[in-house]
Each structure stands twice: as C-alpha cells, then as structure tokens.
Structure 1
C-alpha cells in the first residue's frame, strides 16, 4: 500500500509542474528600476515555441533575455495592444516605459512634456558589432536612445551588449541593431 501511494504521487508530479509552468507565463517583479518606468519587469515566456501574450502597461522594452533562443523585436517578440508578445522560444524580462498609447494609436505623451516616445521620431542609426567586437557609433545624443529594431540573431541587451552616452551608441558581442537617437 505504501509503495502504491508513492507511485501515485510521482505520477502526479509532471501534471503539477506543468500547471505551475502555465501560471508563470507573465510575472511582475518590483525592484531596481527607477521612476521612468511604470512597474518592475514582467517576465514573458514562449514555452514549447508557442506564442504567448503578457500584459504590460506601456511601451515594452526588453531588459534581460532569459532564453537561449533569440529574442528579436518584430520577429520573436513585439508590442501588442495591451502588452507584449513572445514566440519561438523567446523568454525575456520587459519593462514598460512611461506614457500611454494615445487615442491616435501611437505612443504619444498625451499633452505633457514628460514620458512617452510620441511626437516626432528622432534620428535612426544602425550600429553593428561584427566578429563579436566592440564598436562605437558616434552621434550626438541630446536626451536618450531606444533600440527600435534588432537585426542580429545575437541578443541586444541594454547595458550588456549595447549602451549609450551623450557622444553615441556602443555595441558588442555580435549585437546589430537600429537605434532611435533623441
């Protein structure tokens, strides 16, 4: 009888683990992010290469890739009406930039001079790390930089494989992308 009960418990373990995995598709974390963002990061995961949508309040920005599969904006992750979507094994943490979608459909600043990426687009530049080498793309940065399209299969993660200062953008480790300079 004791052996039968133990076998029954082991048989239920995979089902319990799958239930936990299904409920962990989108997790919100509150830690080290400053007031430019609405909340802490949201983890969104494509399990078994399936498309998953996760709620996020604002324009999503990838801050940490968790998967071995590439997370490329517009290809394996992107903006959804009320969040972010991931597919083909992309698992990552995203943060929401301040600013709500305007009624016109874009990411406007809704009449204030604060957050949001609305209004006119800034200058778009391409910056490529070839052969995993560091490259600096010199351009004058007045406010900030936003990755708008990753063109490499290697992840472009701000602070790790790309970054910026007031004199330009740097890329490293095979990151190739287009950046909006504002």
Structure 2
C-alpha cells in the first residue's frame, strides 16, 4: 500500500509544479499589462559580491529571495543599463516603462505632471501601520528608509484607501 501512495504522489507532482509555474507567470503578466517592460529579472549577489544585471527601464523590486536585506540605494540600485545588487541581496526586479522617469546619475527624477503625492509610512516596533490616502491607480515604494526590507505584498501593500506597512518597513511611497 505504501508504494501505491508514493507512486500516486510522484504522478501528481509534475501537475502541481506546472500549476504553480502557470500561476506565477500569470502574476507577472499583470506587470506587462500595467506598463512594465517585461517579466521579472533575477539578480543575485553571490558571496557578497556586487553583480549587475541587464534591465531596460526603471527597476522595481517585486520579490526578495535572500535572507540578506535588499535596501534600495544600499544593497541594490539602478545602473545605466540595468540593476545592481551587493552584500548578499538576491531579488527579482521588473522594469517600468513609460513612467516619466529620467535617470539623473544618482537616482530617478519623476515628472508626474502634478498627479500623485508622496506619502511617508513607517512600521515602528514592527507593528502594522496604515497610512490613509486616496489611491486611484497605484502606490509604489520610491525610497526605503528602513534597514528592514520593504517587499510589496509581504511588508507593505496598498488598496484604494491607502498604504500599509508592517514588520519594520519604513519608506516613502508615490500614490497615484
């Protein structure tokens, strides 16, 4: 009986893996529909070394993979033709397209045509905090001010009524 259960599980495993891959691909397809250039690019700092990965457009961290923090401007950042990571940061990035961003050598300047606002939201003592704002289209992290990683969907997120942060994430968010 034991071998029958194992055979059944091994037969089911490829189908489960395929479903997971399909769900992940569909999740990243929404970025393409929302004005991003492509699916995710994985960039990894191995043994603490700096690594640069090609990415056309303004990089946005969508998933941190490492246990080491990925803090924009400290352990990851924008390069002329891509994104760089260092000190063990490993993450997946997407490239924003047509967001009005302009690389100025030290960061990104955004011309949002008077639309949107910048909102500061801090999770102090690792407590969940909600910052009220009228979000019409999106909220995005533009500057992380904490050492704790701000990872969308895990330590920060948004809905139509504002931005929430948790787990020590502190940052500035552009709300459109």
TM-score by length of 1: 0.71
Contact 2:100 2:112 (C-alpha < 8 Å) held by counterparts: no
Aligned length: 142
Once superposed, what is the RMSD of the aligned Cα atoms? 2.1
Q: Which runs of 4+ in 1 moved over 6 A?
A: none
Q: Secondary structure at the match of 1:68?
A: coil
**Over alpha carbons, which structure has the higher Rg?**
1
1:27-42 equivalence runs, <5 A: 31-32=25-26, 33=28, 34=30, 35-36=33-34, 37-42=36-41
- 42 and 123 in structure 1: CA distance in 2 versus 1, 3 angstrom threshold: same
Q: Secondary structure at the match of 1:78?
A: strand
- 47 and 168 in structure 1: CA distance in 2 versus 1, 3 angstrom threshold: same
Q: Secondary structure at the match of 2:47?
A: helix
Higher helix share: 2
Structure 2 unaligned regions, length at least 5 = 1-23, 105-109
Structure 1 unaligned regions, length at least 5 = 1-29, 107-116
Could you tell me which residue of structure 2 aligns to residue 133 of structure 1?
127
Contact 1:57 1:100 (C-alpha < 8 Å) held by counterparts: no
TM-score by length of 2: 0.73
